[in-house]
Amino acid sequence: MSYLLHIDASSLGEASISRQVAGSFRAAWRGPVVHRDLAVSPVPHLTAAGISARHTDPARHTPEQGEAARIQDELITEFLGAGAYLFTVPLYNLTMPSVFKAWLDQIMVVGRTLGFTDSAPTAGRPAVVISARGGGYGPGAPNEGRDHLIPTLETILGWSHTLGLDVTSVIPELTMVPDIPAMADLIPLHEKSLAAAHEQARRLAETLDRRAA
C-alpha cells in the first residue's frame, strides 16, 4: 500500500488549530504515513543553483547544484511515492506560510511532477488541505474575497496543467474569536466551524483510507 504524505506548515505546534484538525484526520487514517514538518525542518528556498541544476547534466553539476539537486530529488521522490496527501496549511497574512511555498517550489518540476501538456504523474490522487484562519472569509463575511490561500492552493495542487490532485479543503474559521473579547458573540460560530472541520476531516480520512485499501 502506498502511503499518506502529510506536509505540516503551521508554526504554532500543538496550539495550531490546523494541526489539531489534521490530528482528527490522522486518528481516522489506518494506512502508513510519511510526515514532513516544515516548521521544525524547513526546506530551503529555491535558488539559482536549484533551478539551473534541473537543466544541467548531473556530471557537470557544481557542488552547489549537486546539493540543490539532492534536496529536490529527496522531496520529489517522497511526493511521487504517496497515494494520498494531507496538507496542513493555515492562512498567514491572507496567503500561505513561506515554508509551504518553498516546498512547492522545490517539488514542482517540468518533466517530473508537472502536467502541462500531459497528465501529471499524480493526477487524480486525493489530497486534503486543512487551513484554519482567525477570521471569516466565506460568502457574506467581512473578509470575503481576501482569502488568497485556498483558491491558490486548489489551483496549484489541483489544476490538470500542474499537479492534478483531487483536492478537498477543510476550513475551520474564526479561530481568534475566543481570544478577542469584542468578538465574544461569535464564539458559537467559531465552535460550530471547528466541530464541523473535525468531523469533515474524520469522514474524509475514513473515505480515503477505504479507497487506498
| pLDDT tens per residue, range 142-159 | 899 999 999 999 999 999
pLDDT score of 1 more than 60: no
| pLDDT tens per residue, range 101-110 | 999 999 999 9
| pLDDT tens per residue, range 167-176 | 999 999 999 9
Phi-psi bin for 116: left (phi > 0), alpha (psi -120 to 50), beta? Answer: left
Say how far apart CA 159 and CA 202 lie, in whole Å.
25
Question: Which amino acid appears at position 45 of this protein?
Answer: H
* Domain range for 18: 3-212
Other beta carbons within 10 Å of 34:
14
pLDDT at site 52: 97
Q: How far is CA 78 from CA 4, 48, 73, in A?
A: 10, 23, 8
Average pLDDT, the chain: 95
Asked if 17 and 90 touch (Cβ cutoff 8 Å), the reply is yes
User: What is the CATH number for 68?
Assistant: 3.40.50.360
pLDDT at site 2: 87
Q: Domain count for the chain, please give it.
A: 1
What is the SS3 assignment for 101? Answer: helix
pLDDT at site 211: 78
Say how far apart CA 79 and CA 162 lie, in whole Å.
14
